[in-house]
Structure 1
Amino acid sequence: MGVSQMRNSIGREGLDRPYEGPFKNVKTHAFVSPKKDLARKPVFSDNLDEVLDKLDLHDGMTVSFHHHMRNGDHVLPMVMEKLHERGIKNMTVAATSIFPCHSCLVPMFEDETVTKVLASYISGPVGVAISKGKLKEICHMTTHGGRPRSMIEGEVNVDVAFIAAPAVDANGSLTGSEGPASCGVLGYAHADAETAKKVVAITDYTSKTVNRPEISGHLVDYVVKVHSIGDPKGIVSGTTQITKDPVGLKIARDAAKLIEHSGLLENGMSFQTGAGGISLAVANELKKIMKEKKIKGSFASGGITDYLVNLLKEGYFEKLYDVQCFNLDAVESIKVNENHIKMSAHTYANINNPDNIVNKLDVVILGASEIDLDFNVNVTTGSDGIILGGSGGHADTAAGAKLAIIVSKLVNSRISCLVDEVTTVTTPGETVDVLVTERGIAINPKHKELIDKLKEETNLKIMEIHELKKIADFYTGIPEKREKSDQIVAVSEYRDGTILDAIYKV
């Protein structure tokens, strides 16, 4: 099936159940780690080179990293420079996400130290280099749930996992909630620890005991003590502040009213939103309605900000399920609040985990750099084709939630978010339910009952997506189509491993 066919091949029925269209892999199962010797303990060292000497380092190996330190991470550069010095070639880097602080990889593409990258999100110089064809092999852009699925099911085999561990106890157990570089939770590193042939934890803090470790010491082979694993200030993601822009606030109010009249806003509802200013404003508007109607939700989930922490404290939700902390208030909350619960990416979003959290979501609020007339969403590349992000949990949550809402300004800096065809399909349109903009709301035509209900009960400006596109074109004009090269540099993968789209060299 070609890329153009992929874009229209996904089915989703109604708002009353999680997505189970053609990309649903029916081979669901709970995961049991193959590492069963619970008595084993790691070797401790304060010399990274000595540990590397003990590993089976070889050309063509796969090494993995996680991104909980985000743009403050020191571990990936530290390790990769050491491997580069040793002359190892043709490595695959399987990182959960890559940030500007990981620019050391670019020259390693050029001398073929690194020839392949697997990641759920890429920004900064590495994204630019891949887009320009600097990487020898095709980069695979996964989802946050697709990554653990691929490791657990043996599609990706990691030779050595290097885990940035803010705190390690005497048994080698790891936590993100203690130490000077505390990042809150190590949710994305679980699959690496459970499946990699060798696991090396790198830390700058050891203690006799740690509270509620997330990764057991029996999964770890070596612990290396270093001066610093990173700057926790670098973990801050998004604006983490509610927008004050009147246009953004209007979008948020309309989105909240839509949720109120969707039939999903009731006791026990579940909710997820991102860290962007408009997304947080939606949560704030929803809070007002929940307060007025005395509604208490069951859980909020995903990457957690201080705003969601406050909703938990104030009793609007019973629990927070946290796979990564987006700011330092969230890091502090997860240390002390027993209802702020750590989870792995497998628990969060693996499509083949029957108990995954995203499939229990009622409502998710998401952003978009582009959305097209078939409701396909792009958050992977800019309109120029340069890689500037990636799915993360975008496609996972859109598929799992009963109501997936995209909030975006229709026109921003004379650029429309609404296009005829997105540059890259990150999230397939059949899993996207609503687009809320300042000029109107477009609802996926599959949901006729919802459209009729909103028109009858509200004054929201509901229109067809083609009508909304005409408004955008009036303000921006129709941009010229960018010519694509014929060299594929990356592919956008769905949560079950299906290739959604190709990304071409610029």
Structure 2
Amino acid sequence: MKTKDKVYPSIESLLNALPLVDGLTLSFHHHLRSGEGIILPILAQFKQRGIKKLTLDVSSLTSAHEGLIPYIIDETVTEIHTSGMRGRLAEAISKNGILQKPVIFRTHGGRARAIESGQVKIDIAFIAASCCDEYGNMNGQVGPSAFGSMGYPIVDAKHARIVVAVTDNLVNYPAYPISIPQTLVDYVTLVPSIGDVIKMDTRISKNPIEHLIAKKTTEVLIASGYVKDGFSFQAGSGGISLSVISYLKSFLIENNIRGSFASGGITKYMVEMLEAGAFNALLDTQTFDMVAAKSMIKNANHIEMSASMYANPNNKGCVSEKLDIMILSATEIDVNFNVNVLTSSLGIIMGAQGGHPDTAEDARLKIVVTTLMRKRIPIVIDKVTTIVTKGEFIDILVTEYGIAIHPKRQDLISKLNMAGIPHVPIETLKTLADQLSGPRTKITFGDQVVGIVEDRHGNTIDSIYNVI
């Protein structure tokens, strides 16, 4: 294929040149999170051509994707594979069962495994790039819409039948740095915008209760013995997790401790740790804010990695296996330490698996941080609505009302006792949550399965039913 054959001035002109049929599997990524902007315009073109029964394989769906609802209702889209789902789209699927087939929820590592193994066969991968040349070399680190790492679509580019770079910033050859090379790209197409990068941003919590939990968590980390030279670390993008990063950074600097790497979704708070010398490197599969996106250009030790390198359990070695510490969130956690981050206490889909089960399975210390209640709804309960991460993979729960340690971790119980850090059985926290919140609202489920939750290995660990 010659260079002139690759570039199309619009999605419309490209799709006019492709042999489109019903039943295709299309893939997209969500690096721009709530600012993602190419899925809906591309689907509009498929709808205009009368193409139906499409499967969407998307790394995650956000509030930006409420516009998918009419495409599902008219059967343009009949199947979705994703890590998570939020907003009106998730509610329409949870309550009204509008999708013909259950949503398949996969972890980030599980999605990479499914694609690489051939379980999922992508017909066309549409990859949003903030910088791309006429031959398809692309990245997410340069340009007005720069979003950072392209960790999710790297695996798509290697295995999709057709790979399309979608860009709002066509540059002279060669584009650099190269995240996905020209050798994997069939077509380049131009759009006015790939999305709104302002909607990527994350912020540290201002809630004093969440800061209290973060301080307690940092004390637990220090007492555990895992915080030492050469340790590795990951935390999510939630307010409590970001606060933990802030407190931990101060401890590392004050005590001249330098970790090996921090990984996962990278925020400006992680970048501050890197630039302060608290870690040797950052391994980045998804960049969460503009400061972190700019860091990838500035810091050679801020390293882009694919979702497969991050957490695919079937490759020759994934980063999650090297993790010492992981800080996890929870929508619900039960007395067996099972964690839900995918559905609300009312059974509505409203979150994402992400790398939660991936890292929980592999890391040496897994800590769940959450308030005991949220809007008077208990978080610690008898049985979670949806199992996303199995309790056997969780070590410690930290709340504002107390700390609970999984009984299997007698070593951690001994270390916290030695440090004088009080802890209680998780049943105690559950009882307290019940007393403070009062009776729970009873959920009535129908008999339609609207979601199937897979673990990273492809096993079904739970099903989500429609809410009546």
Give 2:305's match in structure 1, choosing from 322, 343, 349.
343
Give 1:374's match in structure 2, choosing from 318, 330, 336.
336
Q: Distance in 2 between matches of 1:171 and 1:85?
A: 28
Give 2:426's match in structure 1, choosing from 442, 462, 465.
465
Following TM superposition, by how much is the alpha carbon of 1:42 offset from its aligned partner in structure 2, in angstroms? 6.4
Q: Distance in 2 between matches of 1:95 and 1:42?
A: 27
1:422 aligned residue: 384
1:322 aligned residue: 284
1:447 aligned residue: 409
Amino acid at match of 2:445: K
The answer to whether residue 105 in structure 2 is matched with residue 107 in structure 1 is no
The answer to whether residue 270 in structure 2 is matched with residue 308 in structure 1 is yes
Moved more, 51-60 or 132-141: 51-60
Question: Does the 8 Å CA contact 2:371/2:379 hold for their aligned counterparts?
Answer: yes
Following TM superposition, by how much is the alpha carbon of 1:245 offset from its aligned partner in structure 2, in angstroms? 2.8
Question: Does the 8 Å CA contact 2:455/2:461 hold for their aligned counterparts?
Answer: yes
1:260 aligned residue: 222
Once superposed, which parts of structure 1, at least 4 consecutive aligned residues long, lie more than 3 Å away?
39-42
2:443 aligned residue: 482
Following TM superposition, by how much is the alpha carbon of 1:103 offset from its aligned partner in structure 2, in angstroms? 1.9
Amino acid at match of 1:232: V
2:59 aligned residue: 96
Q: Distance in 2 between matches of 1:505 and 1:177?
A: 40
Q: Distance in 2 between matches of 1:440 and 1:146?
A: 33
Question: Does the 8 Å CA contact 1:150/1:156 hold for their aligned counterparts?
Answer: yes
The answer to whether residue 123 in structure 2 is matched with residue 159 in structure 1 is yes
How many residue pairs match? The answer is 465
The answer to whether residue 201 in structure 2 is matched with residue 236 in structure 1 is yes
Question: Does the 8 Å CA contact 2:80/2:103 hold for their aligned counterparts?
Answer: yes
Tell me the secondary structure at the aligned position of residue 329 of structure 1. Answer: helix
1:20 aligned residue: none
Q: Distance in 2 between matches of 1:380 and 1:289?
A: 33
Amino acid at match of 1:159: D
Tell me the secondary structure at the aligned position of residue 177 of structure 2. Answer: coil
Q: Deviations over 1:316-344 (max 9, x none)?
A: 00100111111110111111110100111
Moved more, 158-167 or 346-355: 346-355
Tell me the secondary structure at the aligned position of residue 435 of structure 1. Answer: strand
Aligned alpha-carbon RMSD (Å) = 1.5
2:89 aligned residue: 126
The answer to whether residue 192 in structure 2 is matched with residue 223 in structure 1 is no
2:158 aligned residue: 194
Among the aligned pairs, what percent are the same residue? Answer: 43
The answer to whether residue 149 in structure 2 is matched with residue 185 in structure 1 is yes
Question: Does the 8 Å CA contact 1:41/1:220 hold for their aligned counterparts?
Answer: no
Q: Distance in 1 between matches of 2:101 and 2:81?
A: 11
1:19 aligned residue: none
Q: Distance in 2 between matches of 1:65 and 1:422?
A: 30
Moved more, 424-433 or 162-171: 162-171
Amino acid at match of 1:399: E
Tell me the secondary structure at the aligned position of residue 289 of structure 1. Answer: helix
1:14 aligned residue: none
2:46 aligned residue: 83
Q: Distance in 1 between matches of 2:396 and 2:353?
A: 18
Q: Distance in 2 between matches of 1:295 and 1:42?
A: 53
Q: Distance in 2 between matches of 1:262 and 1:65?
A: 40
1:500 aligned residue: 461
Tell me the secondary structure at the aligned position of residue 482 of structure 1. Answer: coil
Question: Does the 8 Å CA contact 2:309/2:317 hold for their aligned counterparts?
Answer: yes
Following TM superposition, by how much is the alpha carbon of 1:130 offset from its aligned partner in structure 2, in angstroms? 1.5
Alpha carbons of 1:86 and 1:94: their partners in 2 closer, same or farther (altered >3 Å)?
A: same
2:355 aligned residue: 393
Following TM superposition, by how much is the alpha carbon of 1:40 offset from its aligned partner in structure 2, in angstroms? 8.8
Tell me the secondary structure at the aligned position of residue 152 of structure 1. Answer: helix
Q: Map of 1:13-24 to 2, 5 A cutoff?
A: none
Q: Distance in 2 between matches of 1:223 and 1:480?
A: 51
2:110 aligned residue: 146
Question: Does the 8 Å CA contact 2:34/2:63 hold for their aligned counterparts?
Answer: yes
Amino acid at match of 1:143: T
Q: Distance in 2 between matches of 1:252 and 1:47?
A: 48
Tell me the secondary structure at the aligned position of residue 350 of structure 2. Answer: coil
Amino acid at match of 2:284: D
Amino acid at match of 1:77: L
Amino acid at match of 1:500: I
Q: Distance in 2 between matches of 1:418 and 1:379?
A: 13
Q: Distance in 1 between matches of 2:65 and 2:207?
A: 33
Amino acid at match of 2:103: C
Following TM superposition, by how much is the alpha carbon of 1:41 offset from its aligned partner in structure 2, in angstroms? 9.1
Amino acid at match of 1:412: R
Mind listing any 5+ residue stretches in structure 1 that lack a counterpart?
1-36
Question: Does the 8 Å CA contact 2:346/2:441 hold for their aligned counterparts?
Answer: no
Alpha carbons of 1:48 and 1:412: their partners in 2 closer, same or farther (altered >3 Å)?
A: closer
Following TM superposition, by how much is the alpha carbon of 1:411 offset from its aligned partner in structure 2, in angstroms? 2.1
Question: Does the 8 Å CA contact 1:42/1:218 hold for their aligned counterparts?
Answer: no
What TM-score does the superposition give when structure 1 sets the normalisation length?
A: 0.89
Q: Distance in 1 between matches of 2:16 and 2:171?
A: 26
Q: Distance in 2 between matches of 1:450 and 1:381?
A: 30
1:278 aligned residue: 240
Following TM superposition, by how much is the alpha carbon of 1:169 offset from its aligned partner in structure 2, in angstroms? 2.0
Question: Does the 8 Å CA contact 1:299/1:320 hold for their aligned counterparts?
Answer: yes
What TM-score does the superposition give when structure 2 sets the normalisation length?
A: 0.96
Following TM superposition, by how much is the alpha carbon of 1:232 offset from its aligned partner in structure 2, in angstroms? 1.2
Following TM superposition, by how much is the alpha carbon of 1:283 offset from its aligned partner in structure 2, in angstroms? 1.4
Q: Distance in 2 between matches of 1:53 and 1:246?
A: 55
Following TM superposition, by how much is the alpha carbon of 1:53 offset from its aligned partner in structure 2, in angstroms? 2.3
Following TM superposition, by how much is the alpha carbon of 1:480 offset from its aligned partner in structure 2, in angstroms? 4.3
Mind listing any 5+ residue stretches in structure 2 that lack a counterpart?
none
**Larger RCO (CA within 8 A; separation ≥ 6):** 1
2:175 aligned residue: 210
